[in-house]
Structure 1
Amino acid sequence: MNTSHDVIARSHRLDGTPEQLTAYYSSWAPTYERDVTNVHYAGPRIMAEMFSRLKRQSPASEVTALDAGCGTGLVGRQIAGDRTITLDGLDLSHEMVTEAARTGAYRLLTSGVDLNQGLTEIAAHTYDITVCCGVFTPGHVHPVAVEGLLRVTRPGGHVLLSTRKRYLSETDFTERIESLCAEGRTAVVEHHADRPYTTDEPADYWVLAVP
């Protein structure tokens, strides 16, 4: 019998193509939340805590946010109680977005979006805060996807990311962030290393500022 650990581990062996990811998550969507609960997935909770802290620091009375790679809406559910937040979500998988719609947390939900393509569907500088939780993980998006997240976020806004620990060791994500900082396209406001993520692996959590 496949355990939740087995199902999640198989997702990390995908090749990152939209076709393979779409097929895998379309079948996983009905049991996704059960499986990530079984491995004590802490990402959405920690991301929501970071989001709430930024929101309290913002001078704006209302915030427009994007949950990029929203999945079944775990992050959205965490922040849905704040009526001063307008939240949109997007994901590659239609079935995952269908589950996210059941949360009632989102103004707008879009499926079929490949983060590797730079979020060209969205105008630049649209959101105050962009959240991307559980996406920068083996077998999924490439580090270049962070550039699209920065592009759709307004100057003065922030991008919140989680990066699974093994992803950092297997990709040039850290080097890409350093390059973007050197080019003046972002700045690292917070970087929390080796924080809780799942029972089998920690993650790093990032807050990037958009100049």
Structure 2
Amino acid sequence: MTKNKFSEADTEAFYDSEDSLYRSFWDSEGSLHWGYFEDLTEAKAENFITACKRWNEYMLSKSGITKDSRVLDLGCGNGNTAIWLSQQTGCEVVGIDISAVRVENAKTKAQQHPSLRLEFRKASATDLPYQDKSFTHVWSQATLYHVHDRHQALREVYRVLEEGGTFIFDDLISPTQEINEMARKYVYDRLLFEPIFSLDSYKDFLSELGFMVLATKDLKEHLYKSYEALSQLALAKYPELSAAYDKMCEAIQTNQLGWGYYSCEKVSDRLSWIYKNGKEDNLEQKYDAWASVYDIDLDQPYRCSPVHSANALAKVLPNKDAIILDAGAGTGMVGEALAELGYTNIVGVDISEKMLEVARKKQVYTALYQGNLEEPLAFASEASYDAILSVGVFTFGHAHPRALKSLSSLLKKSGYFILTVRVDYYNQSNFLHEILKNLPWNIISQEQFNIFETEPMYVIVYQKS
């Protein structure tokens, strides 16, 4: 973990003293974040403020903030965005900042909007003065890179968010930890921060904390365009600062500096979260978010399910060269169990590309495809598989049983289908039983076992007649 050589006192002094300077060319209202440009090719310096507002609008559109939300604006600065959020949605906003000057500015502005639910307070992001689960949302723009202990600040964000709460933010990132002398001088030392997170390592740490990272965005080109515009805007009054911005553009071009966006959800009980009914694209997004830590979360309590399923197939299909489809492959646990038994010709399909990325690293599949089981699978032809396994796929909030019809068409005559389902889902789903009744399948065996020690499952072996 990189130790930050700068302190919060350094940052506080920096922003207390520089507020009027930035207002003179960056934004007269005192907002300090970067722009999201509609057309990067045609954008000019005069488009910068519009681009900054567009970034606010983009983040709000992804946030799920409503009039019932209680939002913590982390690094609220002069209060502009907090006020705007409350005006747009009617939500309550609590803003904190390390700069006493900016907090006082925010309080003064808030007095002009007595109908809005606003509160501003000087506080450190590493020690938030709020109880656990106090907020539905934490919002932050262009702030966290300044925090002397970013890891602790992120832990604090997790603590004060309620279960299911949203953390939506952007931050400067470091694509490489090998910072050259120019970038050190004109970026990191000038802005008082240390290279800690890349786009991906940021996501990894958030996942370790218990956030499900639902979306990320690499905004490097927009950061470059922002500093290109700022260089032009600062040139007349502050030629040295303009030159520093040019150096920042160079740092961005040489991969020494970047800008990342993250949308996260606080999820303590990931199983309950994944079973909640939702749209197909939401399920894909959820599994994408879970992919990096899925095996860690479920290894011991769940792996018995793919193992039982693979063993059930082995009892009826001794041919290790048989062509097998793992329908809903996820991170490849079923593929691993089959490979352990000696099967060599395994194809996998899953709705989540991120889950498949994990599965590919295990090198147990001959091919892996992204696809929705409820839609035609472009890679598969009729009667092409000796066996199909579907483990934990037909369950609450997941694939509809109608997908079994198209999967059956992919199975050779006398081929085997291994269906592994939760007992409660099997007993409650009328759709499942209606579909199964009309498929040309005969039950060969049915076995019950437990996952997570107490959750009963069925592994049912069918043979296509």
Deviates more, 1:78-87 or 1:156-165: 78-87
Q: 2:307 aligns with which of 28, 34, 45?
A: 45
Which residue is 1:150 aligned to? 408
Q: Which amino acid aligns with 1:154?
A: K
TM (norm. structure 2) is 0.41
Which residue is 2:291 aligned to? 29
Q: Distance in 1 between matches of 2:450 and 2:372?
A: 27
Measured after TM superposition, the shift of residue 38 of structure 1 is: 5.2
Q: 1:115 aligns with which of 370, 373, 390?
A: 373
Q: 2:275 aligns with which of 12, 31, 46?
A: 12
* Greater length-normalized contact order (CA 8 Å, ≥ 6 residues apart): 1
Q: 1:78 aligns with which of 329, 337, 359?
A: 337
Determine whether 1:196 maps to 2:453. no
Deviates more, 1:123-132 or 1:166-175: 166-175
Which residue is 2:418 aligned to? 160
Q: Distance in 2 between matches of 1:75 and 1:189?
A: 20
Q: Distance in 2 between matches of 1:134 and 1:151?
A: 20
Contact 1:4 1:38 in 2 (8 A): no
TM (norm. structure 1) is 0.86
Contact 1:41 1:199 in 2 (8 A): no
Q: Distance in 2 between matches of 1:77 and 1:5?
A: 27
Q: Distance in 2 between matches of 1:101 and 1:166?
A: 32
Of all paired residues, the percent bearing the same amino acid is 24
Aligned-pair Cα RMSD in Å: 2.2
Measured after TM superposition, the shift of residue 137 of structure 1 is: 1.4
Q: Distance in 1 between matches of 2:291 and 2:345?
A: 24
Determine whether 1:98 maps to 2:353. no
Measured after TM superposition, the shift of residue 55 of structure 1 is: 2.1
Measured after TM superposition, the shift of residue 191 of structure 1 is: 2.1
Name whichever structure is richer in strand by fraction: 1
Unaligned runs of 5+ in 2: 1-158, 160-209, 211-265
Q: Distance in 2 between matches of 1:168 and 1:105?
A: 30
Q: 3-state DSSP class of the match of 1:135?
A: coil
Q: Distance in 2 between matches of 1:72 and 1:147?
A: 24
Q: Distance in 2 between matches of 1:71 and 1:61?
A: 22
Q: 1:175 aligns with which of 427, 434, 441?
A: 434
